[in-house]
Amino acid sequence: MLMVFQSTLPDSGLTLPDNLDSIIEIKKSFLLKKHDISTTVGILSGKDFGFPCDLLVKRFNYRGFFDFLSHKIFQGRAKRLWEKNLELYNEGLPVPEPISFIESSLKHRNSFFISSVIANAERLSHLYKMGKIKNKGFTTLLAETIAGWHLKGAVHGDLKWPNILVQENENTCKIYLVDLDQSKLYPEPSLSGIIKDLKRFYRFGLELGAERWVDAEFFDKYMEFIPDRIKNMIDPALIRNAAFKEWCKKGKKRL
């Protein structure tokens, strides 16, 4: 059981429940969002445990003894994600606040990463399907957010649209990037990382049938926030072609 020590929970005496596995399996106080062989992700009801807010819990599932051993010899997945998330958060980048982590042990084979929940937020992919992101003001905000991310040296590593959350509160709107397992933070902008992120972004646009919007509006607006020294080394045509080839390899899947 680990102390909760980040500012989202101001009462530093609060601790995480030590039976998270049972809570997740019972689902009474846990809203499941995603489950596969590697991870289980959901929202823990804060009020059920005396917390002032809900918590997002990502469980790294036990995948056999050799996988468990490798993560004990090297750094565990939960701690590595917490450190990445904390580094990005401390840089002022738009990510959820990291709260805590619990490493695996011989007794408890799963490990956990815990962060704040982005309230009143929807995935970019869902909003696009609902026809809610095609106004110029939103395109500008999205482009500025992702460009600002890249100019601070951050690379997401898996910039598909479900990993972009849009939070709306009355007349304000803010964008967050989530699912940061593959993210990296470099001392300066990484050209290869920028291209990788934009290619992944465009490929998911193909899956949604949104490539025209990405081409005609997002890319142009994104480039407005990128300085010439970097912009001159980014070729949108090459990004489109590479993304299209990857999409074809995936069977031209449409969502």
Q: What per-residue confidence (pLDDT) applies to 14?
A: 60
Rg of the chain on CA atoms, in Å: 19
* Per-residue model confidence as pLDDT tens digits over 34-57: 999 889 999 999 899 888 889 999
Q: What is the mean pLDDT of residues 23-42?
A: 91
Residues 188 and 97 in one domain: no
How far is residue 3 from each of residues 86, 132, 217, 220, measured CA to CA in Å?
16, 40, 46, 46
Q: Write out the H or E segment, with its range, that includes residue 53.
A: none
Higher per-residue confidence, 233 vs 16: 233
Residues 58 and 30 in one domain: yes
Query: How many domains, the chain?
Result: 2
Q: What per-residue confidence (pLDDT) applies to 12?
A: 40
* Per-residue model confidence as pLDDT tens digits over 174-227: 999 999 999 999 999 999 999 999 999 999 999 999 999 999 999 999 999 999
What CATH number is given to the structural domain containing 203? 1.10.510.10
Instruction: Please state the separation of Cα 178 from the chain's center in Å.
Output: 2
Stated pTM of the model? 0.88
Give the CA diameter of the chain.
54
CA geometry: angle 237, 217, 117, nearest 5 deg: 105
The mean predicted confidence, pLDDT, of the chain is 87
CA gap 42, 59 in Å, rounded: 9
How far is residue 64 from each of residues 8, 37, 76, 144, 186, measured CA to CA in Å?
34, 11, 14, 43, 33
> pLDDT confidence of 29, banded at 50, 70, 90?
very high
| 188's tokens | 């300066």
Is residue 254 assigned to a domain? no
- The answer for residues whose C-beta is within 8 angstroms of residue 234's C-beta and 6 or more apart is 191, 194, 195, 198, 223, 226
What CATH number is given to the structural domain containing 46? 3.30.200.20
Residues spanned by the domain of 73: 20-116
Is residue 50 assigned to a domain? yes
Residues 79 and 56 in one domain: yes
Among 77-86, 89-98, 128-137, the range scoring the smallest mean pLDDT is 128-137
Asked which of 116, 133, 148 is the last residue of a domain, the reply is 116
Q: What is the mean pLDDT of residues 96-101?
A: 91
> pLDDT confidence of 9, banded at 50, 70, 90?
very low
Q: What per-residue confidence (pLDDT) applies to 124?
A: 96
Residue 54 has a CB neighbour count (10 Å cut-off) of 17
Asked which of 116, 131, 154 is the last residue of a domain, the reply is 116
Residues 159 and 228 in one domain: yes
Residues 109 and 148 in one domain: no
| 222's tokens | 């994104």
> pLDDT confidence of 106, banded at 50, 70, 90?
low
- DSSP secondary structure of 118-156: -TTEEEHHHHHHTT-S-SHHHHHHHHHHHHHHHHTTEE-
* Per-residue model confidence as pLDDT tens digits over 115-139: 999 999 999 999 999 888 877 899 9
